[in-house]
Amino acid sequence: MSKSVSFILPVYNAEKHLAQCIDSVLNLKKMVEWELVIIDDGSVDSSLSICNRYAEADSRVHVLHVENGGVSRARNLGLQNARNEVVTFIDADDWIDASAFVKTFQSFVQFDVELGIVPFYSSESGKIKENPLALGADRILSLEEKDYILKRRLGAGIDLNGYVWRCFFSKDLLADIKFDVSLKYNEDVLFCIETLYKASKVAVVNNAYYYYRVNLEQLSSNKGTYSLENRIAGWRKIKEWADLNDVDFEFALMRRRCPIYARKFALAAINNRGFERIKALWSIHREIPKSEICQWKASFLGKSFVPYVLLQRFHLGFFGYIYLLFRFF
């Protein structure tokens, strides 16, 4: 195995789990040729000193300290400074299994492709769960398979989320692709869409090595990231990309708009009372294109919308609206 890999690690006030994250990469030792590019994004806790301590001890660890500018800018700086042939990402709350990584990386290298997609583990409250790919056996995808995954799985966010740390990217593939710094939501999704679309050879490698920590504290503190405005901005950027590249993303955009409708309904209920709430819910209900409704599944909007989805699908839209009134009153 001759190819080398650069890990890009954005860091912001991550002192709690940072050492475990970096140690997990250092556990690779000399099993593969690697470097760790850390971008400290203006941390005000002890994160920078932790990073510097590792960099002083191991020449393969490189640290850049910049003023806070967000995860997208940090990752872009990492891409600019990565020197190896393959790039992957890691987040400061997470960690990897070194032995499993080597096995997965070897498979990726042997496939000789530009992009590799792998499963991962999630860790929540000490419980580990594997998140399989459900894409079939290890192989190089055909162009038809790649197109299907782009439009119906990744683009639509169905059983394949846009997590950049679950992918290997050839450095050449990323030559003119960057994270959109204007986005606070779905920036990683757009990056994965662009790379999957551009890559001529893509491989599936069904061997998980990455452990994603479900950080409930962080999710709570970052509620603004998932705001309606940020969701809409992300959706529009994906649409702009599809229009610019003449890619039929009608289904993907419909699927991604469903949680936006759900958030709109919730906000209408929170911000209005009495008759004003009735009008607000009706206005949102009426703006949903009928062409989308026929493609809906209950999971697109969320479990609490199952009756609404079923009534809409059976062309009983008014009764669906009545359900909304009961749901939000």
What pLDDT, on the 0 to 100 scale, is given for residue 222? 59
Residues 6+ apart with CB under 8 A from 201: 111, 112, 113, 114, 115, 140
The residue ranges of every structural domain in the chain are 5-223, 249-328
Neighbours of 195 (CB within 10 A): 20
CA–CA separation, 189 and 193 (whole Å): 6
- CATH for 5-223 is 3.90.550.10
Instruction: Encode pLDDT of 185-234 as tens digits.
Output: 999 999 999 999 999 999 999 999 999 999 766 554 456 788 999 999 99
Please tell me whether the overall predicted TM-score, pTM, comes out greater than 0.85 for this model. yes
How deeply is 97 buried, as exposed, middle or buried, from its count of CB atoms within 10 A (0-12, 13-18, 19+)? middle
CA 137, 141, 147, 150 dihedral sign is: positive
Query: Rounded mean pLDDT of the chain?
Result: 95
What pLDDT, on the 0 to 100 scale, is given for residue 110? 97
Paired residues of 115 in beta bridges? 169, 202
What pLDDT, on the 0 to 100 scale, is given for residue 220? 47
Decide if 8 contacts 88 (C-beta within 8 A): yes
CA–CA separation, 282 and 113 (whole Å): 50
What pLDDT, on the 0 to 100 scale, is given for residue 60? 98
Task: Report the pLDDT averaged over residues 85-107.
Answer: 98
